[in-house]
Amino acid sequence: MISNRFAKWNLIAISALLLLVYFGIETNGRSPELLRFFGRLHPAIVHFPIAIITLALILALLNRFRWVLIPDNVINICLILGSWTGVKAILAGSWLAQTGGYPADILFLHKVIGYGATSLCAASVFFRTSHAAMFKKPIVGVLTWSLMVIGLVVGGDLGGQITHGKGYVTQYAPGFVVSVLGHSDPMKERFDLSEPGITTIFEGIILPILTEKCSSCHGNSPREGRLNLASREGIKSNKGDDPLIVAAKPEESLLFQRLSLPEGHEDQMPPPLRAKPISFADVELIKWWISEGASFEQLISDSHISTTVGTILQAYGLGEIRTGVFALNIPVPDSAKVNAIRLKGVGIDILAEGENLVAVTCKVVSSCFSSEMDSLSQQVTWLDLRGSDVTDSDLNKLSSFPHLTRINLSDTSINGSGLAALGGLAFLEYLNLYDTKISDTSLEHITAVKTLTAVYLWQTAVTPEGISMLRAALPDAEIDTGELKN
């Protein structure tokens, strides 16, 4: 028979041991190899208390519903064994945690639950023997056992997360389990990429990777004079012999080198066995950041995104990247002015739903380049003057529409001398000069516009030599020459 006196001394002994382990095993210390070996057994050892506590619960249930009569004594013995094996698991766990590389916040919670469940075992035997009548009350029984079960489930889940990463336990779980345990899609949660136009590569992608994978060892509080990868300031302050980061040259950056070593290399980071490995995708993102100049300010939307990087970022929920004029904050067009212009026979269309950019079509240039149109100078993006009476001297008006991306001047009598006005258009991509009197002499105005991606010169006076010169000056642009094509 487990007496209350025995249960009391058991509780005192367990509490004393737990305090000893808590204060005796230094979190950041280094234990001898044999103890680290014992630490590695934690995942195996921890199943003893779990099994014994579960057995105690089953026996208590059998008793409660009077299916099988189990003496209280047997349940108490199970709980006492639960408390001692719990201490053993905590001891091993503490030595395992010492080897480092575990996420501190999850580890802390996991520890609290381990200590809590172990103390609860010892304490409940004490109260079961001192206040037996009270423990017969369903409410007390249900409360203590529920606490125990929640502890085991949540503690086990956290343990799974520590060794296998967030989402491991719930990956195949039904929806309600996922919501009870409070997990959501880890892919969408990891980085905040919903607004690439205001998120920097560093804050949005790189720092979260370094925090997750490296800062348990390379944190803000320098241990053994180690590298600090936990913050922008930390990274900037590192002064090793080899450069940590060489902007635009990942191969020369220690940060990338250490991540791309062959499996088993002694310098491999994170150190194998002691920390969770880093994925190819994460290494690829770090390489991308360094290639892009390792800037702390560069926005995701301002970067060159290769297919590989694009695929990775898509998987993490990258939002729409707005570039060129679409990245600008264009005010809503004044509808009274728009109507006034339309009344003059000028076509004005909204470029795309939800955008304030407009496309303008007109045949009589005097009605198009009017004072009302000046009020739309921010919004005009496409200008279609095909077949209109536009002259070269009208073209200097083009510079009052800085957001033009497409201009169609085909089938007009211009000779190109007015195209100098194109120089001020920072977004111009498309220029149609088909069936005009453009000649080689005005090509210099076109070559000056480096943003051009398509130029139409069919049926003009431009010579094949002029075309080659243009192609050399704008290698990325498509130069369409109709019958001149060779």
Element (H, E) at 97: helix 72-98
Minimum distance from residue 147 beta carbon to ligand HEC (Å): 34
Contact 404, 423 (CB under 8 A): no
Contact 148, 120 (CB under 8 A): yes
Closer to ligand HEC at the Cβ: 268 or 447? 268
> How far, in Å, CA of 444 to CA of 465, rounded?
13
Closer to ligand HEC at the Cβ: 196 or 270? 270
Minimum distance from residue 257 beta carbon to ligand HEC (Å): 7
Helices (H) and strands (E) in the chain, counts: 21, 7
Closer to ligand HEC at the Cβ: 43 or 100? 100
Closer to ligand HEC at the Cβ: 13 or 275? 275
> How far, in Å, CA of 149 to CA of 116, rounded?
12
Torsion angle defined by CA atoms of residues 341, 345, 351 and 356, in that order, rounded to the nearest 10 degrees: 10
Minimum distance from residue 222 beta carbon to ligand HEC (Å): 12
Query: How buried is 7 (Cβ within 10 angstroms: 0-12 exposed, 13-18 middle, 19+ buried)?
Result: buried
Single-letter residue type at 336: A
Minimum distance from residue 169 beta carbon to ligand HEC (Å): 22
DSSP per-residue string spanning 300-322: GGGS---HHHHHHHHHTT--PPP
Output the six-digit token pair for 152. 């085991």
Which residues, in sequence order, are bridge partners of residue 408?
A: 384, 432
Minimum distance from residue 30 beta carbon to ligand HEC (Å): 11
Minimum distance from residue 230 beta carbon to ligand HEC (Å): 11
Closer to ligand HEC at the Cβ: 140 or 275? 275
Minimum distance from residue 123 beta carbon to ligand HEC (Å): 36
Closer to ligand HEC at the Cβ: 229 or 351? 229
DSSP per-residue string spanning 25-73: S-TT----HHHHHHHHTHHHHTHHHHHHHHHHHHHHHHHHTTSS---HH
Closer to ligand HEC at the Cβ: 124 or 215? 215
C-alpha pair distances (Å), 41 with each of 95, 169, 179, 183, 273: 10, 20, 31, 28, 14
Minimum distance from residue 278 beta carbon to ligand HEC (Å): 5
Query: Which of 398, 416, 396 has the alpha carbon at shortest distance from 407?
Result: 398
Minimum distance from residue 270 beta carbon to ligand HEC (Å): 4
Output the six-digit token pair for 206. 């790189």
Query: Where does this chain bind ligand HEC (CB under 6 A)?
Result: 100-101, 213-214, 216-218, 226-227, 229, 240, 254-255, 258-259, 267, 269-271, 274-275, 278
Closer to ligand HEC at the Cβ: 271 or 423? 271
Minimum distance from residue 92 beta carbon to ligand HEC (Å): 19
Contact 362, 371 (CB under 8 A): no
Residue the block writes with tokens 């300031």: 233
> How far, in Å, CA of 35 to CA of 95, rounded?
7
Closer to ligand HEC at the Cβ: 174 or 225? 225
> How far, in Å, CA of 126 to CA of 110, rounded?
25
Closer to ligand HEC at the Cβ: 76 or 161? 161
Minimum distance from residue 215 beta carbon to ligand HEC (Å): 8
Closer to ligand HEC at the Cβ: 254 or 290? 254
CA 483 from chain centre, in angstroms, equals 50
